[in-house]
Structures are given as structure tokens and as C-alpha cells.
Structure 1
Amino acid sequence: MIFIQSAQNDSSTNDILDWILYLDIHEKIQRQNDIASLEKVSIHINKDIHIKGSTINTIFDSDEISRRWYRRGTFSFNEIPLPKDYKASKISYPTQNYLRKEMDYILKLIDKNIVQYKNSINTFSDNNTNKIDNLIVASQTGLRIPETLITNEAEELLLFTQKHTKIITKAISSSNYELSLDDYKVNMYCGTEMINIKHLNHKQNIKTLFPSFYQQYIEKKYELRIFYLKGKFYPMAIFSQANEKTKIDFRNYDTERPNRCAPYQLPKEIEEKLHRLMQSIDMNCGSIDMIYTPEREYVFLEVNPVGQFQWLSRNCNYDIEREIALELLKEKT
């Protein structure tokens, strides 16, 4: 059985399910969406590990799962389970916090062990990939990276701006986060922004705050989005420099005048270095961002384990959804 974890509104998952059913209508598939929480769970450990669980809509058994695609979401408990006649006020905050940690430990165990076959694609733990660590590993594999600084020291930032006339800042971990305001939840986005050097001319204008991410700005001829799947590359060139809105970052989308995108062929040397990087960070699928400079150099920026690939597949006629389906239909190894 193929076990798929995703978000309820992820259309790329729907496309891949269509391909699986088209290629093999008899294949057994189970999809777990991120909005469903675990109601029951049992984990038996002896020589092997056997996991059973259920949500309001699904029942799963690790003995029946031979392949897994982790797309998005995770297993979760909706709330701390308490006896019906027990008043929540009796549970102190430290106790609630302890119970949450216990549940988190169990959930991570399930995510890691629900399937252990080599032909599974991605894991929940890929979400915790460290972008800074990945930059270091990329450099160690021979890929060029932008010079990077993380600091809350005004003097260090000023020295950095003197060395690089153009610098950018962006989120250290995730560019998206959720903010609670009264009864509302607001989704926030922290994009890539150019630092205005004029604001840094005087040290007294800079306050020491939380450590932030600064990076040498690399001039672009075009940007590259590369989907990686178990040693295979699906690259796309994004001609973002023809539009002022997308020059700094193509993700500042212009829906009225979208960037031209085209299939691309990476040099074999760059493919080999990227493959070594993905092996080193133990990630078998992801979306890689790179820059191709006017000096004809390739510069690595980051890799996202759950990045969007639908638009890349359609712009370049790569049929990535079909390739993922074929990978999931392989017999367990």
C-alpha cells in the first residue's frame, strides 16, 4: 500500500493520485491530510516496530504500508487527552507542557518508523533541514555560495556592508509564519529584501536586536529552480531580471507580467555536486534554488523539501507528477 501524507488543499497531491490510478487502478492508496488528528495509536516494539493508528477518517497499519510519500503536514494530537470528569484548571502549565513534549516524542517516532523502505519519498524530518547547515555542506561539496553573515552586532554588519556594496536580508528558517490576533489567525510572509546602505552609514543608527541573516547580493543573469528526485534533475530557468518587481527575488510574483520560464540543462559537474549535497543532508527529494551570474557562474542558495513543483512541471513539460507516481508504484526494496 502507498501511504501519502499531505495538506487537504494541495493540488499537486491530487495530480499525483490521478497518475497513480491511471497507471495502476488496482493500487491500494491511503491519504492522510494534515487537518486530521490521531484518536488511537499503538506502537509495538520487539525485533521490529509495528505501528497502528486511526483518525476520524482513516485507519493505518505499518505492516500494510510498503511505500510512503511525505508531502506536507504531520501526525498530531488535537489536544491533551484528559478524563472527562477532570477539570483542566487542575493541570498546571508545566504539566501541560510536559504532556505536549511526551506526545511530540511519540509523533516523531511514528513519522520516522511508519515505513522504512528505500523507495519512499521525503520524510517529515526533512522539514527541519537547517538552511545554514545546507549552505555549509554545499560549500564543502564545491558549490559556490554567497558570503553570509548572521549577527546582531552593528560593527560586524557595517564591516560586511563595506565589503559588499549590495546585501540582502531574509528569514533564517522559514519565510512563512502564523500570527494570532484576538480570534483571528494571520499568515505572515518574510521575503528577501535589499538592505538600504544609506541607513547603515552611522553606527548610532543601528540598534542591537535579535541576530538576523545577511547575505552578499549576487547579480543574476537568470535564476534556476531545480526539482530533484532521487538523483534525477528537472531544472528550469527563470528570467526574473526582465521585471523590476522580480529582480531581487522571483517569488515577488508579477501576475500581470509573469516571468518567462524555460527548460534548462545543468552542466554535469553541477549535477554531481548537487547530488552529493542531497546525499549529505539525507534528502531524496526537494526544490533547489540557484543563480546563474553574468560571469557564467552557478551559485547555490537553498533547498526546500516541500517546495512547489507544479508550475515547474507545467512550464517545462516535465510531467514530474507522473515521475513521482512511477516512483511510488515501484515494488518495495
Structure 2
Amino acid sequence: MILILSKNQETTTNEVVKWLSLMKKKFIRVHEDEVFEIKVFQKRIFLESSRNRFFLDEITSTWYRRGGLRFNRSHFENESVNNHMDEHQHWLEDYVLKKIESKKTINKQSNSHVNKLLVLEEAKKIGLDIPDFFLASNTNDVALNETIIKPITGNITLDFITQHSDGIMYTTIVEEFEESDFFITFFQEKIEKDFEIRSFYLNGKIWSTAIISQNDEQTKTDFRIYNHNKPNRNVRYVLPKEIEAKICLLMETLDINCGSLDFIKSGNKYYFLEVNSVGHFLGVSSICNYSLEKEIAQYL
């Protein structure tokens, strides 16, 4: 049985599920709003929610896409008993998650969010070129028009602005000094691009796409500011073998066996920018005819 941890109507998951259905494979899709009770039945651990139920030992492979397993905890009136049982339930939940992650897995709930700063440091150790970066709370030492800012985090959900919508913080060029200090921010050297590269990694295999974003002022700094009236050209691309080898080493170091990596091609150099273990990839999969959703289904 295949276990998929995702979100309601998440498009990428929908496409993988279509392939699993075509292949007649049994799977359970867990949505982010499900809460499970951990039970024991005939000496076997049994998980049950309002939508799904399964024995823990039935799971043969797992795909952590988004969301994750959530558990309902029992509460007791006696505070001492409640504290003890809360810890007891924590370790039971930890056991369940670790047993699931010991199966054949595409990514893990326990390390689903990577730290961009640590990733860049690891990439540099491995030998990948990265743009110079620094943290600062003002623009006193920033070279104008030669420096960009971007979030330390990945994309965040701005539920405080509008319910159920994702807010994207785009890469921006620093064009003027700020008068006052601000919260610590990530600054990075602005690299003049030939084009951008999005590489999809799955357990040692790599599919890359060149994104010709430099011919359009709207997408020049960040191709994610899509020009739907005049889309960027996307073409299949093969990275040099030494770069692909370093990608594999980086992903192994991070203990991530699936994700999208972003590069900038500038002259003879390939500058690594970041890795996203839960990023979108259907667009490049479709345009380049990579069928990555089928690759995921077959791996599971």
C-alpha cells in the first residue's frame, strides 16, 4: 500500500494519483485536515481518521508531498497524569512516523523544510558555485543595482491577508538605500544571467530545463513573475556531468531524495541558488515532455 501525504486538491498529487490508478496500485491519500487516532488491533498498530484507516505494517512506500500526519491526543483532568500521557503519546507518534519513513520513501515529513543558509553552505563545501551572500539589518554596505534580496524562507502562506492563498515573495534588486534599520534580511550578489535552469531530482536521476527569461523585462530578475501573454521559452537542458554529480552529493548530504534545484548559467559558470523539496514541477514536466509525475508513480 502506498501512502501519500498531501493537501486537498493539490494539482501535482492529482496527476501522480492518476498514474497510480492507471497502474492499478493501491494507495491512501492523506489530506492536511485529517487527524488520526492511533489504535492497536490484533497486536498491530492501526491508524484511523474520518476519511482513512490502515494498518501501519500495510504501508510499503510513502510520498511526502505536503501537509503531513496529524494525531489526536487524549487529555486528562489530572495535570500530572496529563503531562505523563502527553509525553507517552508523543513517543508513540514519533514511532509511527519513523516506521513510515523507514519504508521506501520520496522525502520525509521530519525534514521536509530545509534551511536555505545551511543548504548554501553545504553547496559551497561540495564545490558548487554560489553567488556571494550576507545577512544585514540595513543597506549601509549594499552595492546598489548589484545586489538582490530574497526571503530566507521558502514561499509562505499569507492567510492573514486572504484565506487559502499562497503569497510569493519575489527576488528584487536593491536600487536605493533604506533610511532606517529593518529585520535581518538575506542579500545576495546579482549575477548577470544567460538563462535560468530548473533541475528536478529523483533518487539520483536529474531532468533539467533551461528557462529563457532574460529577453523579457518582466521575468528578467525572477522568472516566477510570469508573463502569461508572452511566456518564457523552456527547453530541455543537460547539465555538465560534474554539476550533476555535485547535485547528487548535495541531496544525499541533505537527506532529500526528491526536489527542484535552481541554477543560473552565466558564461562558463553554473551558480546554484536553492533547493525546494516540495516545489512545483508540472509546468516544466509538460513543456519538456519529461512525464515526471509518471516517474514518481513508478518509483512508488
User: CA offset at residue 214 of structure 1?
Assistant: 0.7
The 1-side partners of 2:149 and 2:228 are apart by 24
- Write out per-residue CA displacement over residues 228-259 of structure 1, whole angstroms, 9 at most, x where no aligned residue: 00000010000011111111111111111111
Match of 2:151?
171
Q: Which residue of 113, 118, 121 maps to 2:106? A: 121
Match of 1:2?
2
Contact in 2 for aligned 1:66/1:115 (Cα 8 Å) = no
Over 3 Å counting, the alpha-carbon distance change for 1:229 and 1:97 in structure 2 is: farther
The 2-side partners of 1:101 and 1:172 are apart by 33
Q: Which residue of 34, 37, 41 maps to 2:35? A: 37
Q: Which amino acid aligns with 1:132?
A: L
Within 5 Å, which residues of 2 pair with 1:179-194? 179-180=159-160, 187-194=166-173
Over 3 Å counting, the alpha-carbon distance change for 1:215 and 1:60 in structure 2 is: same
Within 5 Å, which residues of 2 pair with 1:5-154? 5-23=5-23, 25=24, 27-38=25-36, 40-42=37-39, 51-77=45-71, 107=93, 109-117=95-103, 119-152=104-137, 154=138
- Write out per-residue CA displacement over residues 285-331 of structure 1, whole angstroms, 9 at most, x where no aligned residue: 000011001x2210000000001111111011011111111111xxx
- Write out per-residue CA displacement over residues 161-190 of structure 1, whole angstroms, 9 at most, x where no aligned residue: 24x751111111122133436x96765332
Q: Which amino acid aligns with 1:113?
A: K
Match of 1:331?
none
Over 3 Å counting, the alpha-carbon distance change for 1:62 and 1:184 in structure 2 is: closer
Determine helix, strand or coil for the equivalent of 1:136: helix
Contact in 1 for aligned 2:38/2:71 (Cα 8 Å) = no
Determine helix, strand or coil for the equivalent of 2:287: helix
CA RMSD for the aligned pairs? Answer: 3.0
Matched, 1:233 2:212: no
The 2-side partners of 1:278 and 1:220 are apart by 24
Over 3 Å counting, the alpha-carbon distance change for 1:184 and 1:5 in structure 2 is: closer
Q: TM-score, structure 1 length as denominator?
A: 0.80
Q: Which residue of 132, 157, 180 maps to 1:206? A: 180
The 2-side partners of 1:214 and 1:280 are apart by 25
Contact in 1 for aligned 2:6/2:30 (Cα 8 Å) = yes
User: CA offset at residue 16 of structure 1?
Assistant: 1.4
Over 3 Å counting, the alpha-carbon distance change for 1:191 and 1:17 in structure 2 is: same
Over 3 Å counting, the alpha-carbon distance change for 1:131 and 1:109 in structure 2 is: farther
Question: Percent of aligned pairs with the same residue?
Answer: 34
Q: Which residue of 174, 185, 200 maps to 1:195? A: 174
The 1-side partners of 2:83 and 2:250 are apart by 37
Contact in 1 for aligned 2:126/2:246 (Cα 8 Å) = yes
Matched, 1:316 2:294: no
The 2-side partners of 1:234 and 1:134 are apart by 20
The 2-side partners of 1:7 and 1:271 are apart by 31
Q: Which amino acid aligns with 2:168?
A: Y
Determine helix, strand or coil for the equivalent of 2:158: strand
User: CA offset at residue 109 of structure 1?
Assistant: 4.8
Q: TM-score, structure 2 length as denominator?
A: 0.88
Determine helix, strand or coil for the equivalent of 1:245: coil
